[in-house]
Amino acid sequence: MKNLEELRKIRDQVKKDLELRAGGHRAKIVVCMGTCGIAAGARDTMKAILDCLDEKGIADVTVTAAGCPGFCEQEPLVEVQAADAKPVRYGHVDAAAAKRIVTEHIVGGKVVADLVFA
């Protein structure tokens, strides 16, 4: 850090990121971040989700991490829990798939059928 303004920018970004992980929103996105998920690329998946939500100005969706749900061969796994709908679990979610989930499911309200892991 070189000055106070740079520190304020960092603080604002961290605050914004934490708000995306807080509760009380219209939908919740859970990224499985067990060791198998991380090895399969879950960090990139999480970053893509957060970046896409930010680009679209979506602030009413919670994004959180969870451990391994036991389907290691399907990692990275992402679950979308929208109000009044059954949770949808997506498998093999890379950065491109993560952006599709945000665009089509979160924004458009339609499940991305070809990515669903039942």
Which pLDDT value is given to residue 19?
Answer: 63
Q: Give the C-alpha distances (Å, rounded to integers) separating 114 from 58, 89, 97, 104, 118.
A: 24, 11, 10, 12, 11
Q: Where are the domains of the chain?
A: 4-115
Which pTM value belongs to this model?
A: 0.79
Which pLDDT value is given to residue 18?
Answer: 67
The per-residue pLDDT string of the chain (118 residues; one tens digit each, 9 = 90 and over) reads: 578 888 888 888 777 666 655 555 789 999 999 999 999 999 999 999 999 999 999 988 989 999 998 899 999 999 999 878 899 999 999 999 999 999 999 999 999 999 998 7
Q: Cα 86–88–94 angle (5° rounding)?
A: 165
DSSP class per residue in the chain: --SHHHHHHHHHHHHHHHHHTSS-SSEEEEEE-SHHHHHHTHHHHHHHHHHHHHHTT--SEEEEEE---S-GGGPSPEEEEETTS--EEE-S--HHHHHHIIIIIIIT----GGGB--
| CA neighbor of 110 nearest in space, from 102, 118, 57, 48 | 102
Fold classification of 4-115 (topology level): Glutaredoxin (3.40.30)
Angle formed by the axes of helices 4-20 and 42-55, to 10°? 100
Amino acid at 12: D
